[in-house]
Structure 1
Amino acid sequence: MAPEPTAVDSPPPGGPDRPPRRRAARLYGPLLAFLITSAAFCAAWVARGTFPFGNTGRAINDQANQYVPFHRALWDLVHGQAAGDVLFTWRGGFGQQFLSDYYTYLGNPFSWLTVLVPRAHVDLAVFAITPITMGTAAALMAVYLGKLHPGPWWQRGVLGATYGLCGWALSDASYIPMWLWGLVALPLLGIAVEWCLEERRWPGVALLVALAWFGNFYTAMMATMAACVLLAIRLITRDMTGAQRLRALWRAGTAAATGILLTLPLLLPSFLSSGSAQPTKVGDFDPVRIEIFLSGMLPATHLWGGRPRLYVASLGLILAGSFVLNTRIAKRTRLVWAAAILLVASSFQFPPTQYVWHGLAVPNGNPYREAFVFSGMVVIVAWLALANRPRPLHLALSAALLVVATFVLRHTNDFGGWTWPAVLGGGALSLLALVLLRLGEKRRYLVPVAAVLMVGVVFAESTAAAVNADSRRARERWAKPSATSNQSITNHFDAVRRVDGWPAYRTDSGAPQTSYNDALALQAEGPQYYSSYLPEVTYRALEPLGYGYKNDGRTFFGADNPVLDAIFSIGARVRPDTAPNSWTGSTFPAPPLVTVRTAPYTSPHPADSVYARQENVLGATVYEVPEVTRGGTATEQTYAARCTPGSEAFWYSPALYGTLTTGATEKPLEDRMTGVTPLGPVPASGELDVKVTTRTKDATAGTHPVGCLNRAALDRTVSHLTATGATSVDTGGHTIEATLPPGARGTAVLAMTNVPGWQCSAPIRDFHGLVSLDLPADTTKLSCTFTPKGLTPGLTGAALALLTLVSVTVAARRRRA
């Protein structure tokens, strides 16, 4: 039995599209969608007084800690100022892979706009990526809607904007440039689906899939699953033969596989890097209560925490509600679309299907990251309703249902303050505009009035929704805005550059940090690094040595400790100066990046002491680790120890959160975030007294929190490692070469963590988490090259896909010729 024909051949409101208007619609509809979306989002910035339109900080959470620093690293890469290349970076984490980070954090094609501005303004360019990407998504949705059903360009533009300004974009992804590419990918893949159904442009379909996946594989995966749903819907509702359906499926499957294979040089290394990354403690998916889930569908609602933001503007909701009542649309079409939307929404609440949406992984953060898929489907049925001239009665019933739903859900925990104005004000104006549009079929002068009203209400309501999302989110501790450019940051950067000596030695940008990725942001080479791909081997190398960390070990901080400086060839450090917003750098002797150890060494101090572990890597005894006497109470703990007068005391207590006081010095303790901390010189009495005021229940500083450094012994060790180490070291983008002194024997230790992907001129041995090589006799040079795991097979797969793409294109051209 053939499917029912989809709707309606009567002209849409505003009259039929004539050829000149069709040509105009190709530009005007998407342009209108782009302008409404980007202007509404920027208007919210203005209303909030947000940078660059005011003094309120713009960068929240990972935008400050990851995205701005990574975009500054991209700027450095393009302008020849990077210590590394697209495969590897020497900045941060003592050398880490960069390809997976590039794919994950810099894949949005608009990220390349940041390289066109001065480095000092990269953060502003990062902020601009958001309205540009949202506007592009809206424009592409306007194009896709036109492929589903003809209609006036301005109406498609308005509904495209409701998609670009959906709740997920405003509340979840507005500060995440790479995720926003998923908003673009959905209509992009929708267009690809239509080309498959039309049995045309197979190479174009493959390229659209590749473009979606090059931007960000995570949200592209969700958009691809949504495209499968759209394809299924269209195969059922479109008037096609069985053979045509099979051909469409074949074209879609082969083009999708080819497109994804084109991204394999990025996709496969990222997948393998994710598998070797430091694991995080992520709980099981716990769906929200049904009333909270439904509240997320109400316009201008921002729910706290990891809750779904599913809404679009009232105009889209009212039209979508009228869809099932619109008899001008074939019954089968209405039933299939309605069932699909209900199934998609239900899948968000069912753990097994939620895992499928998220690539069989529990998301670390908001578990409703695929919410834009639902919003996109709502906008699609809203367009199908509008293009088929909904009756005012049906629109009124839909608007009334929206009001009733809002009334019923008004007591839901987290009910938004802007929801009622959006429902009553925006809903009433939307209904008025739609009624005027229907009356405009006979009174043409009403059509421009309806158009202006529709544009205005979507703009105003979405601006208010964006302001609401920003203001409510700012009340959460994790979302407190951070500065990404000011005089202090500029001076900090300048101070780092003044003492730079790479690759002769590393420079640590010091504390306090502006971001978790200060090494990238400030062109330093310290341990500071924050990435979802930080390898487990890096965590296992740095954590035992006393570096502070958080995010289950995917974020590492610096530590002002001379022994760690010697281990990792840190020869310069930047600290705050006495004047406000000023920084000063200092240099000091440091061994080269490649040192030589002639014999095994084991510290004489207790093996569970962080100071013994440091000595094991350094290869010399430089600490005194005294016995510590603990007293006081659970919240006011006291510690007493005795060390050699004049030595330098250090403290390490990763289990305590609170405040440390010794003499006149007071320091904050933030459990694992606080690494080894200097206490200052041991007084002439040799007595060390430390008091810790803590809020950590049933936790202590452990058995050996104190270590006293013999600076003279350390200086002798540094001199020895320098004299016996490499005479010269040269680092390329993802290579390191060293020249060793004549007669070098033993083991060469490279001051970099043993991340997967290194291949050296001799077999690699793990040395306390660092790369080391046994030196054969008469070795004068050594070299290592980093290649991300999966890159070679990824390039092979991409080459095959490209060959297929070119072959199909050439064959098609020959057939047409």
Structure 2
Amino acid sequence: MPPAAEPEVAPEPQVTPVLAPGSASEPRPSRPSRGSRPRLRAAAGAALLTGVLFCLAGRLAGSYPFGTRTRNIVDLGQQYLPFHAYWRDLLLGRTHGDLFLNWSSGFGTNFLGDFGTYLSSPFDLLVVLFPADRPELALYAVTALKIATAGAAMAALLLTLRRGPWPVAAILGTAYALSGWTFNYGATVPMWLDGLVAFPLLCLVGEWARKGRRPVLGPLVVALAWCANFYTAYMATIGAAVVLVVRLLTTDDTATATTSTSIKPTFEAAGRPRFLALLRAARSVLLGIGLAAPLVIVIFLGTKAADPTPPTAFVAAAWSDVAARFLPATASVATPALFIGTPALALALTLPFNSAVAGRVRAGWITAIALVTLSLQWEPTHLLWHAGASPNGIPYRQTFVLCGLLLMAAWLSVAGGPPRPRALLGGTGALGLLALAAAGSVDIDRWTYPAVAGAVALGVLAAAAALLARARPVGRLLPVLAVVLLLAAQAGETLVTGKRIEEQQLSEVSWAPRVGPWHTDMARAVAEKDAWPRHRTDPGEVPGGNDVLLVGGEGADYYSSLTSDTYSRTLTGLGFGYYAKGRHPVSLDNPVTDAIFSIGTRMRSTPRGPLALDRLPEATITVTDTPVPPLVTVHPAGAPAPAGSSDSAFARQERMLGRAVYEVPAGPRRTTAPDGAGTTLTARCPAGSDVWLWAPEYQGTAALAGSPSATSTFAGKLPSVVAPMQRLGTVPADGTVRIDLRPEPKAGPRQKLPANPVGCLDRQRLADTVRDLTATGATAVRATGHTLTADLPAGSTGTAVVAVPRTRGWRCAAGDAPLAPADSRLGLLAVPLDGRATSVTCSFRPPGVKLGGAVGAAALLGLLATALPHRRRRTGRVHPSAGRQEFTARAHPARSTE
């Protein structure tokens, strides 16, 4: 007969006599209790094991820093690496901006929103410990430390839920930290790893609320989680709420709000304590989110103002694919990454069959896991998990919560001892059915089933050793052997999974090379030429994206989830290109836009070879200095638009510049190439002018007839990519312009071109315009952290235009007038002038700072209002002035298996 389930009821308190201060029986200063030692050991063991396995998986995959292959896939190389490099410089005082404003990216952007989205985790402060030319190593260390901390937090949580053998808790904590979600998503999106850490910590907050403990620390933990990354903290909060509800329904040791021992009706005895626990948990969450409001509100408003991505319709994954993602060595961004290791999964599947666990405990956890699993596949709950908006890209970002629930179920089934053979057979059978259901999935890798077979074999040996030790408890050899075999099974699968996921990602998604001589040479060149705020220095295209964050300077390149819609639309209208559906505008090498945005120094790179996964990139860098107007120019009031303007990028550039500098042929003649594989555009322009082609949707090549060696490639692919305008060459002496277009075959035979795709730039007109704007523009420009001030010639009238995008948060004034929300002129900051002011000032304050500060202050007052009564109650119980000291002795808990 199986042993009875371990009761979930706390031991009945025993009241001891009142003791006088100083008596022999007076409690001594608190020291770590024996019950906390297993948690510390499990947490330390999980952290160490997690770190070692994560590094070994990278070594097996041959990726940096243990190999030569790059890890910089997709956003890891284009967002997180550059942001962390810039964060290091900001912390060390080596940037032009401050926490409010980033002068380097996007011609001036809201940095507080980016900080709260990408860099507000305490772990990110570690970047200052690494050299400036090792940002990848710094980011890897931050990533590994977050993952190890997640394993430690889960191990500690498991032993809080129920006592048991700490080595097993450490192994299961590692299984959580190195789940398929971590390898497939979290390791390459480091900001999401803060949610991985937050989930077990928020579950601990729920436990404290359930038992009426730590009313101050609880909100602080919530605040830390939401500040570190509010997006995944939101998901972790939902998951922690599920765990709290299950615990309230399946345990009887929930704390009451009073010390009364009178007998109450059933609802009073059971329902009221649970209701009060929910209130305590809600208080902790609300106060914690309130404390995080100065960041959360700024991010929320920044998201509202961001360039909108196209709507995404959620499509549930096939159940065979869902089943496959429980297995090792599977990778996909379209299905939920549910791998936690075959032994851990088998233990979780034994819970329904494990009669040694109380029936209501089994029912509660099985129901919770089933409902959360179904919620991944139903659109209304999918939207709930993602705060009401179906994300672009990975649709199953909340999967780490389900991984955690499965590991809690595994722990509850094994904590009291190895499950009986019947339960083990039931779990193994369920695992077999799951593997069979996954057989037809496209996500199955050639390593999947061999890895499962090896793990099952080791798991069976571990179970046999544990059962023998239970039947013949004559030593520690068998229990130790069981743990070692379990560890080997989990670790082996984890290493295979980590290795294969890295290899599959590099073969299937875009990547950037490692930081190398190209970057360091460019950073050195930019530092030598940087003249901010006299004019901007643009480093141009550097591998990885977000170039100015990596190498310095001030340019258009900027990639963030908070890229302003105003900024993106303004630049696209001027002929700039973008990636990431508008959220990654890139630099445009064009003399007219250089004049508009005061880019006086431009770097150009010529790669010395093709980019490779395992080789550092190198390039030859050239530097070009060009006279440009200052950052602040003065435009006459009511100046007419240049003659011949139309709704084209060339016309918009002219309107922003204030002069006509292009000849734009109306409707170039289009003829099909003799071989039918392309199109020729024919137009007439002044001889000697520069030919520019604006074809944002075009995918293919373009070249001036007679100059096939000067072929330009366009990569437009709406809605993801818009191609920038490009210079094709010089108009020949006869004034005839013929452009040969060769579309990519996969792009289709017909590609839409604008009505006026060709513009011919007159360099002399542009030079005259620059000279005039410089003569009437600012005589001096000063820039501090988030403020720019310019001195103007006396008597300036019309409009002062600041070469900074007019996004929300900018306030400007002329002379000594108070700052007010800035005007806009064609998307740039504008300040009206009346002839009396001799200076203009513009300052940026992130939208939501004041509101967030007010909410945070109110939450802080609420936390103090919670802390003071709690402190009085504690002091009242032990205060020496009472003449006597009272305390309630608790029965010593049974020693856990160690």
Q: Deviations over 1:76-96 (max 9, x none)?
A: 111111121111111121111
- How far does residue 19 in structure 1 lie from its aligned partner after superposition? 8.9
Residue 294 of structure 1 corresponds to 323
Residues 213-224 of structure 1 mapped to structure 2, 5 A cutoff: 213-224=226-237
Are 2:506 and 1:474 aligned? yes
Are 2:688 and 1:646 aligned? yes
- What TM-score does the superposition give when structure 1 sets the normalisation length? 0.95
Tell me, yes or no, if the aligned pair for 1:315 and 1:430 is still in contact at 8 Å.
yes
SS at match of 1:119: coil
CA distance in 2, matches of 1:316, 1:395: 12
SS at match of 1:596: strand
1:597 aligned partner, one-letter code: H
- How far does residue 419 in structure 1 lie from its aligned partner after superposition? 2.1
Tell me, yes or no, if the aligned pair for 2:593 and 2:653 is still in contact at 8 Å.
yes
CA distance in 2, matches of 1:703, 1:803: 61
Among 359, 362, 366, the alignment partner of 1:334 is 362
CA distance in 1, matches of 2:412, 2:48: 23
- What TM-score does the superposition give when structure 2 sets the normalisation length? 0.87
CA distance in 1, matches of 2:583, 2:856: 30
SS at match of 1:529: coil
Residues 674-693 of structure 1 mapped to structure 2, 5 A cutoff: 674-693=723-742
Residue 601 of structure 1 corresponds to 640
Residues 414-813 of structure 1 mapped to structure 2, 5 A cutoff: 414-441=443-470, 442-444=473-475, 445-476=477-508, 479-511=509-541, 513-576=542-605, 581-599=619-637, 600-627=639-666, 628-633=668-673, 635-662=677-704, 663=707, 664-671=709-716, 673-695=722-744, 696-697=747-748, 698-761=750-813, 764-813=822-871
CA distance in 1, matches of 2:373, 2:437: 20
- How far does residue 159 in structure 1 lie from its aligned partner after superposition? 0.9
CA distance in 1, matches of 2:463, 2:865: 50
1:701 aligned partner, one-letter code: L
2:853 aligned partner, one-letter code: L
Residue 202 of structure 1 corresponds to 215
- How far does residue 301 in structure 1 lie from its aligned partner after superposition? 4.0
CA distance in 2, matches of 1:301, 1:455: 18
Residue 15 of structure 1 corresponds to none
1:593 aligned partner, one-letter code: L
Tell me, yes or no, if the aligned pair for 1:7 and 1:329 is still in contact at 8 Å.
no
Residue 14 of structure 1 corresponds to none
CA distance in 2, matches of 1:275, 1:587: 38
Tell me, yes or no, if the aligned pair for 2:320 and 2:438 is still in contact at 8 Å.
yes
SS at match of 2:801: strand
- How far does residue 481 in structure 1 lie from its aligned partner after superposition? 3.2
Are 2:391 and 1:363 aligned? yes
CA distance in 1, matches of 2:393, 2:755: 36
CA distance in 2, matches of 1:508, 1:8: 65
- How far does residue 345 in structure 1 lie from its aligned partner after superposition? 0.3
Query: Structure 2 vs 1, CA of residues 404 and 578 (structure 1 numbering), >3 Å: closer, same or farther?
Result: closer
Tell me, yes or no, if the aligned pair for 2:291 and 2:855 is still in contact at 8 Å.
yes
SS at match of 2:832: strand
Runs of 5+ unmatched residues, structure 2: 11-30, 255-269, 609-617, 815-819, 876-898
- How far does residue 434 in structure 1 lie from its aligned partner after superposition? 2.7
Matched pairs, number? 803
- How far does residue 577 in structure 1 lie from its aligned partner after superposition? 5.4
CA distance in 2, matches of 1:356, 1:776: 53
1:130 aligned partner, one-letter code: T
- How far does residue 21 in structure 1 lie from its aligned partner after superposition? 6.0
- How far does residue 716 in structure 1 lie from its aligned partner after superposition? 1.2
- How far does residue 811 in structure 1 lie from its aligned partner after superposition? 2.8
Among 274, 279, 294, the alignment partner of 1:245 is 274
CA distance in 1, matches of 2:367, 2:350: 15
- How far does residue 296 in structure 1 lie from its aligned partner after superposition? 1.7
Among 388, 408, 417, the alignment partner of 2:416 is 388
1:45 aligned partner, one-letter code: G
Tell me, yes or no, if the aligned pair for 1:492 and 1:582 is still in contact at 8 Å.
no
- How far does residue 552 in structure 1 lie from its aligned partner after superposition? 2.2
Residue 354 of structure 1 corresponds to 382
Among 219, 226, 235, the alignment partner of 2:248 is 235
Percentage identity across paired residues of the two chains: 38
- How far does residue 186 in structure 1 lie from its aligned partner after superposition? 0.6
SS at match of 2:686: coil
Query: Structure 2 vs 1, CA of residues 636 and 386 (structure 1 numbering), >3 Å: closer, same or farther?
Result: same
Tell me, yes or no, if the aligned pair for 1:526 and 1:558 is still in contact at 8 Å.
yes
2:678 aligned partner, one-letter code: E
Tell me, yes or no, if the aligned pair for 1:611 and 1:707 is still in contact at 8 Å.
yes
Among 157, 164, 170, the alignment partner of 1:157 is 170
Tell me, yes or no, if the aligned pair for 1:166 and 1:311 is still in contact at 8 Å.
yes
1:675 aligned partner, one-letter code: P
Query: Structure 2 vs 1, CA of residues 700 and 815 (structure 1 numbering), >3 Å: closer, same or farther?
Result: closer
Q: Deviations over 1:569-627 (max 9, x none)?
A: 11000012597622122211111111000142312224122211110000011111124
Range 183-192 or range 686-695, more displaced: 686-695
CA distance in 2, matches of 1:726, 1:19: 66
Residue 896 of structure 2 corresponds to none
2:391 aligned partner, one-letter code: P
- How far does residue 8 in structure 1 lie from its aligned partner after superposition? 7.6
- How far does residue 99 in structure 1 lie from its aligned partner after superposition? 1.1
Residue 185 of structure 2 corresponds to 172
CA distance in 2, matches of 1:434, 1:320: 14
Range 669-678 or range 377-386, more displaced: 669-678
Tell me, yes or no, if the aligned pair for 1:133 and 1:184 is still in contact at 8 Å.
yes
CA distance in 2, matches of 1:654, 1:130: 37
CA distance in 2, matches of 1:457, 1:5: 28
CA distance in 1, matches of 2:445, 2:425: 24
- How far does residue 437 in structure 1 lie from its aligned partner after superposition? 2.1
CA distance in 2, matches of 1:813, 1:703: 73
CA distance in 2, matches of 1:816, 1:305: 51
SS at match of 2:204: helix
- How far does residue 508 in structure 1 lie from its aligned partner after superposition? 1.1
Q: Deviations over 1:103-140 (max 9, x none)?
A: 11113321111122111111211122222111110100
SS at match of 2:65: coil
CA distance in 2, matches of 1:365, 1:658: 26
Q: Deviations over 1:771-809 (max 9, x none)?
A: 101112310111111111111010111111112223322
Q: Deviations over 1:480-522 (max 9, x none)?
A: 43223111111122122222111100111113x3122112211
Tell me, yes or no, if the aligned pair for 2:375 and 2:381 is still in contact at 8 Å.
yes
SS at match of 1:538: helix
1:61 aligned partner, one-letter code: V
CA distance in 2, matches of 1:80, 1:280: 34
Runs of 5+ unmatched residues, structure 1: 11-17
SS at match of 2:634: strand
Are 2:90 and 1:101 aligned? no
Tell me, yes or no, if the aligned pair for 1:285 and 1:367 is still in contact at 8 Å.
yes
Residues 273-284 of structure 1 mapped to structure 2, 5 A cutoff: 273-284=302-313
